[in-house]
Amino acid sequence: MNQPARSGPGPGRQGPGARTRPARAGRTAGRTGSLAGRARRPTARARGLTRHAWGRSLLGAAGIAGTLLLVELLARGGLFDEQALPPATSVLARAAEMAVDDGFLGDLWITVSAWLGGLALAVALAVPAGLLLGSLPRLDTASLAVVELLRPVPSVALIPLAILVFVEPGRVERSLVCYAALWPVLLHTLYGLRDVDPVAKETLRSFGFGPLGVVWRVSLPSAGPHVVTGVRIAASVGLVVAVSAELRAGGDGGLGVYLLATQSGGGRPDLMVAGACWAGALGVAANAVLVGAGRRLFPRRAAAGAGP
């Protein structure tokens, strides 16, 4: 008597469900491994960036130490008079004493307040102006000649005019810093707007966004790294102009006035160089703060090595 054929899988057979389970399990394991690999990639990249930053910091520290050692050897070796080139140890000792000197700290604060005030005013004027000029090509072309005419004018040459217009030393200094810092921020804003993807702008326009919406959502984020770079350059230029204005125009106080006072009564070159070192430390600190801000605001650019 013939037995009916069994429809289910036999001992040596595999049904459709049995065939698909290993394949699905393999695909699931592959996806899990891929996700785990993706999760590990940012960590490895972040570690690479951290090692790179530490390496640069160590090289910078080695460069500073080597420069100080060279100055110390030249001064102690008798190649230069100590009145012309004071030893590095004496300069560092005077700089440390200045950190607890109320008179010097007051002068330093006057310079810093004028410097930061002029820089903030320059950013507040240059970024909107750059966005306006970059969004209106005809206006950009019409103003190009004016920008190229005013940009090369040295801020120090405008000190007599600034004294006549603003009178007060603090306003004179802030106006000169603003004038000098205005151009790097403006030009870098324009450069950033020229790199904006036109497809992204047209896409937003097709969805009904107006000019302000396009500027806010596409143009400004794309130009942001360039703006931060412009602010970094403007900060260095503004500090130089602030001290130079105090040296030329004088005033009630400031780092430039303090440097002038160190040359009275026979002169103290160690105090003068120590004060200049404090100005350099301000510039380094400002640059470090702006670099950190750029990396936080634009982490993708920093991870790609194109950050500000």
Helix (H, G, I), strand (E, B) or coil at 168: coil
Q: What long-range pairs does 191-195 form, CB within 8 A, spacing at least 24?
A: 191/223, 191/226, 192/134, 192/222, 192/223, 192/224, 192/225, 192/226, 192/227, 193/130, 193/131, 193/134, 193/135, 193/219, 193/222, 193/223, 194/134, 195/222, 195/223, 195/226
Contact 260, 247 (CB under 8 A): yes
- 257-270 pLDDT per residue, tens: 888 888 776 678 88
Q: Kindly give the interhelix angle for 102-135 and 220-249, rounded to the nearest 10 degrees.
A: 140
User: Which segment of 82-86, 135-139, 170-174, 233-237 scores lowest on mean pLDDT?
Assistant: 82-86
pLDDT of residue 76 exceeding 90: no
Question: What rounded mean pLDDT belongs to the chain?
Answer: 78
pLDDT band at 285 (very low <50, low <70, confident <90, very high): very high
Which structure tokens are listed for 17?
């469900």
Within a 10 A sphere around the Cβ of 95, how many other Cβ atoms? 19
Contact 176, 245 (CB under 8 A): yes
pLDDT of residue 192 exceeding 60: yes
pLDDT of residue 118 exceeding 90: yes
Within a 10 A sphere around the Cβ of 115, how many other Cβ atoms? 27
Contact 227, 185 (CB under 8 A): yes
Torsions phi, psi of 231, nearest 5? -65, -40
Tell me the percentage of the chain whose pLDDT exceeds 90: 20
CA 270 – CA 280 distance, rounded (Å):
15
CA 236 – CA 280 distance, rounded (Å):
9
Closest-CA residue to 260 (of 252, 270, 272, 249): 272
Helix (H) or strand (E) holding 61: helix 16-76
pLDDT of residue 97 exceeding 70: yes
User: Which segment of 52-56, 116-120, 167-171 scores lowest on mean pLDDT?
Assistant: 52-56
Closest-CA residue to 245 (of 133, 160, 145, 183): 160
pLDDT of residue 41 exceeding 60: no
Tell me the percentage of the chain whose pLDDT exceeds 70: 78
CA 102 – CA 95 distance, rounded (Å):
13
Helix (H) or strand (E) holding 244: helix 220-249
Give the torsion through C-alpha atoms of 290, 291, 295, 298, to 10 deg.
60
Which structure tokens are listed for 20?
């698909």
What is the DSSP-derived secondary structure letter of residue 158?
Answer: G
- In terms of average pLDDT, the best of 9-23, 109-123, 271-285 is 109-123
Tell me what pLDDT residue 33 has.
Answer: 46
pLDDT of residue 83 exceeding 80: no
- Report the pLDDT averaged over residues 151-159: 86
Which is higher by pLDDT, 8 or 274? 274
Contact 106, 161 (CB under 8 A): no
